[in-house]
Structure 1
Amino acid sequence: MAGQESLDPDRSMWDFIAVELRRQRRARGVSGAALARIIGRDRSIVSRIESGKIPMQLDHAEIIDREWNLERLFTRLVKFAKERKDDEWRLGDLTEQEARATRVRMWEIGLVPGLLQTPDYARAVFSAGLVRDLDTAVQTRLDRQAAVFGRERPPEVSVILNWVVLEQPVGPPEVMREQLAHLLTLGELPHVNVRVLEKNAGVHVGYDGMLELLTVDSRDIAYADAPHGGGLVTDPTDVEAFQVRYDRIGHIAAPLGASRAVIQQAMEMYQ
């Protein structure tokens, strides 16, 4: 867990909020437990905000400002921090959060998700981009997979693939066939399920782009892709919007048995 000594309020707005919250609380002689009661949460939430482990939520900022007569100090700070793209919360990157997650939910529109890629499929994907060191890139991806699937207690993993993923050739036919076979093998694990959204589903909310939902430390966060790199989303309201989108995609995806049949049929394309 990050401590106050590891925070840098001169560089990070979220760190500044964490440090300022503790300063304001102590100046008033308010305990962490008392502050937790004020915002209607558990004591551990206050500790995690002050240590920089989680960001302060806007509704908590508004309550604190009102109770302590701070004239919207924390409300303004939280809003400003959320608008600064160069000052992300101290979450670490997606890989770090996947390695800690107890539940992973993914929707992919065009490629097999990185966590499910075979080495040859990953190499073919990287070869199409601007990666200079293919061996390092592939190994990094395999290490990312091992951190998730190689744990003693791996997370529950639910994946929904757009039909394009199965029909879009990546590398030679043997690479695609091996990759699809790998999806079937993963789908046999008790903690993994792979479903397919078939072509006849028509236009749906999934076309807004890929998404990933992670449950980390009993709270959900999301990852949204973007043209120049994705970003982690932590605000509960925003995360809920991703959850709704994932659920809507799931409502129209094929069930497990039918999805396996679709993947097996797609393998025949790559003889």
Structure 2
Amino acid sequence: MPRRRQPTLRERRLAAELRFLRETRQTTLAQVAEAIGWKTAKLGRVETAVSGVSLKDLGVLLDYYGVAAERRAQLMERASTAGRRQWAAYEQFVAADYTEYLEMEVLAVGVRAFDTSVLYGRLQTESYARAIMEGHSMGLLSPGEIDRRLEIRMARQGALTRQTDPLHVWVIIAETVLDTTVGAPEVMVDQMRHLLDLAELPNIDLQVLPAVKGAHPGLTGAFAILEFPESWEADVVYLETMTRNTYLADPHEVHRYSLAYRHLSAMALDPGETKALLARRVRAQEAKSR
């Protein structure tokens, strides 16, 4: 029998929700399986995303759990697209755990990000992003691979300006990020102008954390918190390192990062002050280049 492909994030989240529905009713796999006429092993495979679940079988489970109409419709919609991989064409160019993050972004309605060394990817201009990737690659990536990764980064930005339900992004930027010259000086000027343009969008909130604020909860590094549309879908924290990407879903860990984000926001300049700071930096850079 051929091995089934790895489940998508959508499939795993749907499986986790089905497991949650059963556990909140304090029933066992065997009890539910017997009640709906399934084998226990089949239900176990569905709850662990080892096997996908058809819309017909999902309907049987939701009927048994007595799921309300609105939530039922949401889960059925989620199941209808569960096996879809929007970024499948790029899987050979990026690590599997990063592809997983891209799929997770598709499901998110909001992102809170804190950056300590470079700007959050969705805020980057193409020139800034290319300079970052070339610096990070240390010669290990071919120009073609960098081009493909750049395509991904630019495509992700479409979520910020789409006509229907644009992604809400709230980014806190450590001031040291702005002090780091990435690429040529004109690249930084264009990047600052781009930040100012983005800051005018109603779905984007930018704050700069001044260096003079000293020690803060984000000293351990950058992180992003992804928020999902339904109340029953827990937030996820995303951490990126040089060699791997990590996701935190434990409620206590997510709460710790959410608390840190609130502290960082309180320490940072408000959005109006942030725009004023960016405008001053643009004027200063332009004056230097004259």
With normalisation by structure 1, the TM-score equals 0.69
The verdict on how the C-alpha distance between 1:251 and 1:155 changes in structure 2, with shifts beyond 3 A counting, is same
User: What value does the CA root-mean-square deviation take over the aligned residues?
Assistant: 3.6
Unmatched 5+ stretches in structure 2: 23-27, 38-60, 83-95
Q: Which amino acid aligns with 2:104?
A: Q
**Per-residue CA distance 1:229-259 (angstroms, 9 max, x = gap):** 2222222222111111111111101111111
2:171 corresponds, among 136, 159, 174, to 159
1:45 and 1:26 map into 2 onto residues whose CA distance is 23
* Conserved? CA contact 2:36–2:64, under 8 Å: no
2:66 and 2:255 map into 1 onto residues whose CA distance is 23
**2:267 match:** 252
- The within-5 A match list for 1:53-72 is none
- The within-5 A match list for 1:155-234 is 155-218=167-230, 219=233, 220-234=235-249
Residue correspondences, number? 222
Instruction: Find out whether 1:110 has 2:117 as its counterpart.
Output: yes
Q: What SS does structure 1 have at the residue aligned with 2:158?
A: helix
Q: Which amino acid aligns with 2:242?
A: P
Q: What SS does structure 2 have at the residue aligned with 1:169?
A: coil
1:206 and 1:142 map into 2 onto residues whose CA distance is 27
1:164 and 1:36 map into 2 onto residues whose CA distance is 53
Give the deviation of 1:157 after TM superposition.
Answer: 1.3
4+ residue runs over 4 A deviation: 6-9, 17-23, 28-37, 42-48
2:203 and 2:62 map into 1 onto residues whose CA distance is 38
* Conserved? CA contact 2:175–2:211, under 8 Å: yes
2:179 and 2:274 map into 1 onto residues whose CA distance is 14
Percent of aligned pairs sharing the same letter: 26
Give the deviation of 1:183 after TM superposition.
Answer: 0.4
2:214 and 2:66 map into 1 onto residues whose CA distance is 47
* Conserved? CA contact 2:109–2:227, under 8 Å: yes
Instruction: Find out whether 1:132 has 2:139 as its counterpart.
Output: no
* Conserved? CA contact 1:224–1:230, under 8 Å: yes
The verdict on how the C-alpha distance between 1:108 and 1:36 changes in structure 2, with shifts beyond 3 A counting, is farther
Give the deviation of 1:185 after TM superposition.
Answer: 0.3
Q: What SS does structure 2 have at the residue aligned with 1:93?
A: helix
* Conserved? CA contact 2:199–2:205, under 8 Å: yes
Deviates more, 1:137-146 or 1:93-102: 93-102
Instruction: Find out whether 1:101 has 2:113 as its counterpart.
Output: no
**Per-residue CA distance 1:93-139 (angstroms, 9 max, x = gap):** 22222233211111101111110000000011011122323322211
Give the deviation of 1:8 after TM superposition.
Answer: 6.8
With normalisation by structure 2, the TM-score equals 0.65
